[in-house]
Chain A
Amino acid sequence: MTSHPPQQGADFSPGPVTDRHARFLRMYTRHQHSILAYIFTLVANRADAEDLLQETSVVLWEKFEQFEPDTDFVAWACRVAFLKVLNHRRQSARADLLLEEDLLETLAARTLQLAPQLEQRRQALAECMKRLAERDRQMILARYETGGGVERAAEVSGRSLGATYKALYRIRKVLFDCVTLRVAHSGAR
């Protein structure tokens, strides 16, 4: 394989890149967050989810010729991701496992069913974030930034750890409710 990724400076064309690369890149970049969210739902750990996404992406690329263009890319990718999650689970220490395998399968199937709604919720979150009090916004960003965490959130907000846990619980609940409300409103159209 001697194809190249798109090059910077290619003004109005994607550059010297094979159709296959281009198609894969387009679909993958469009849906990678959905695939990551699917994995994260099953492993409940950001670092594990990102690692599994990378492993999944390699398999997706290797098997991309098998993907049928008119079918659902996310569903296909999530099937691959689920196998990676199961494999990861089997290699993990028993004590680290959150969910039993049969429950995991149930959740995986339901997550796929909810995928369109989850995408709507993702879009609604950006709007809900803007409505947070600035202090709460800084705090939740510090909690979720790369390398951040509860301690970082406590540091940014000047609260104790205990108070930070409570505040994060409250902020997430506010955001969850706000997102639910916004999606419900848009669904009423």
Chain B
Amino acid sequence: MSLTTQQLAELELLLSELADDRLSQSGRAALSALLRAEPEARDYYIRFMSLCCDLHEQAAIALSIAEEQSDVCSPPTVAFGGARVVWRPGRAFGAAAAATGVTVAILAIAVAIVWWAPRGQTGRTGPVIGWLENVGGQVEIAEARLQAAHAENGQAVRSGQSVSTVGPEAHVTMRLTDGTEIILAGDSRVVFAREEQEHVHVEYGNVAAAIQRRAAGAALVFSTPEARVEVFGTRLSLSRGGQQTCVTVLEGTVRVQRLSDLRAVRLSDGQMAEVSPQSDLRPLPLAGSADHWTLDFGDGLPRGWQTGQLVFEELPPGSKAAVRAVGVVDYAQKAQRRRQIRSHNAWNEGLFAIYHDSWIHVRYRMERPGTFLLYVVCRQHDFGQPVATVLSSGNLRETHAGQWHTLTLPFSALRRARSQAPPPLDGQLVAFALVFDSPEQDPGLTVERIWVTRGLPAEPRQPIEASEASPLDHRQWRESSAADRFAH
């Protein structure tokens, strides 16, 4: 038997009161009765309590980066490998531990909760450590965890502050006082802390950096929830998301340490490593970006897929699955509601390189007539400037709803999202994410396959291959591309 809507609503309310320590005695009795009567309520309870516990962890991660350092209030810390160990004396923990002397002291270190706790020097923020340059799109700067403010070119960055880029095309360069460049692109957030060494904590997103040479013992440290990366002068790229950190070294040498077991490896030019508790931590050769690429969803959504719902019905012949656009709130666009499909973030490895003869093909269906846009989010092949280039198809209008179509576009027809200048198509742009975007009035966009080729397709297709439309050749398509169904 499953929970009724009324029971579920009651359970949600009781659990919320329990979570905020205001559940009355009668509420406790009601909760207990529900848990006894309904297995589904017990599962819901367990998942909810687990969520609350996980929220404490999330808050600890965020706070450890930003909170004020207080010798009075902070638990004592001891150095422990690359991490910081915090020993929190328990209220009921005492005699037994004290009696076993050194052994328990060692044990205490071994079993204490390991927190990553970079902290500012004093107060919420410390001294100026650099300035912002090349601000593009929505970039925010915040002190500790206070409300973020829009960032501007030339704005100073202080230790203890966080910098965020919001949206696929957002980017910013932070130039530190020693000339080191740290670049953020896409949805990313870093926090600058300063302890013994300069320290940048990457919460999520994409970072590229060119670090000036440093003296021994004065490494710049990048940290993520999974890894600690020490650099003494190098060019590197780092992405963090999906409980995984990926580090690529373009020049120089870095030391990468996994925080879960403190194993470490050194990476040199042209090497990368994936860091997660499950990964095989070892240097891997950095593969060049492919110029042919294909993606379908027969094996499900790729790891780290950002947005979209996997669907298994009403597919074209031979297909196993497709991905359907879902509702999102676009905070970069005044909180507009949109329908989107967003691919995984392939910042480090790239999806494909783009040349003057590259074409992109998309097998898709719309449930209702409407429009959508395709954005191809790119970086430079060497992670240099400009950091992020977003290519856009402009509005694509589909009037033949309910049928599967193949959209085929040459990259030479795509335009920069915020500039009239033609994009370079000589292989220096590498796509690292794709976004399909449609307005809130859901046209039901579903994508079954995406692929990229070089050279004209074997069978030239129209930009929107309506099954009943008469075929257009490539020249005709170019001439009609300014028409309403492909209007920039």
Contacts and interface: CB of A to CB of B under 8 A. Distances in A.
Contacts of A141: 58-59, 62-63, 145
Interface stretch (B102-110, B118-126, B409-417): B102-110
B451 interface: no
Interface string A82-96: 000000000000010
Contacts of A1: 102-103, 106
Interface stretch (B256-264, B284-292, B354-362): B256-264
The prevalent SS among residues of A at the interface is helix
B310 A148 contact: no
A8 B20 contact: no
Among all A-B residue pairs, the 5 with the closest Cβ atoms: A189-B300, A57-B111, A144-B59, A51-B90, A145-B59
Given A10-B81, A14-B262, A133 B331 contact: yes
B16 A172 contact: yes
A3 B53 CA distance: 33
A176 B47 contact: yes
Contacts, number: 226
Interface stretch (B91-99, B394-402, B442-450, B475-483): B91-99
Given A29-B261, A141-B145, A37 B90 contact: no
A58 B63 contact: no
Interface residues of B, number: 89
B19 A6 contact: no
B301 interface: yes
A189 B106 contact: no
B51 interface: yes
B46 interface: yes
Interface residues of A, number: 87
Contacts of A49: 53
B28 A98 contact: yes
A70 to B, nearest CB: 18
Contact of B111 (A33, A61, A122, A168): A61
A138 interface: yes
A55 B46 contact: no
8 contacts: A8-B81, A10-B81, A32-B111, A40-B53, A51-B91, A58-B107, A144-B59, A169-B13
Interface in A27-48: 28-30, 32-33, 36-37, 40-41, 44, 46-47
Interface in A100-144: 100, 103, 106-107, 110-111, 114, 118, 121-123, 125-127, 129-131, 133-135, 138, 140-144
B301 A186 contact: yes
A80 interface: no
A101 B215 CA distance: 60
B80 interface: yes
A121 B187 contact: no
B270 interface: no
B377 to A, nearest CB: 17
Nearest to A54: B90
B155 interface: no
Given A57-B111, A148-B59, A126 B51 contact: no
B80 A5 contact: yes
Interface string B42-79: 11011111111111111110110001000001000001
A114 to B, nearest CB: 6
Contacts of A110: 42-43, 46
